[in-house]
Copies of this chain bind each other. A is one copy, B any other.
């Protein structure tokens, strides 16, 4: 099993979720995060004083998948999240040693 972690633009979330459903991913965990990167931040004004806010609102997805689904899930996320403009985000793959469904105690791929 692998844990896919992807940082994407917030307004692509719905598309990504739909794309993941299509390839058979049943669950996702989403976190609101702030990203620093190549994409530049925005300026805010305060009584004429301008300050630059460097961080940008992003959304982080965590999806645990069985090896068999890995490539399809990665493809689904990257396709659906891509706008082609700077700041589209990153996708990381981490090894997952175990998974448990808390409700039933099922383990391994069956837990996902």
A interface residues, Cβ below 8 angstroms from B: 2-3, 5-8, 17, 26-38, 54-55, 58, 60, 62, 64, 74, 77-78, 81-103, 105, 111-112
Contacts and interface: CB of A to CB of B under 8 A. Distances in A.
A84 B60 contact: no
A38 to B, nearest CB: 7
A95 to B, nearest CB: 6
A93 B94 CA distance: 11
Nearest to A98: B93
A100 to B, nearest CB: 4
A25 to B, nearest CB: 9
Number of copies: 3
B85 A90 contact: no
A13 to B, nearest CB: 9
A97 to B, nearest CB: 5
9 tightest A-B contacts by CB?
A88-B103, A27-B37, A93-B98, A88-B102, A91-B100, A28-B36, A93-B97, A30-B34, A31-B33
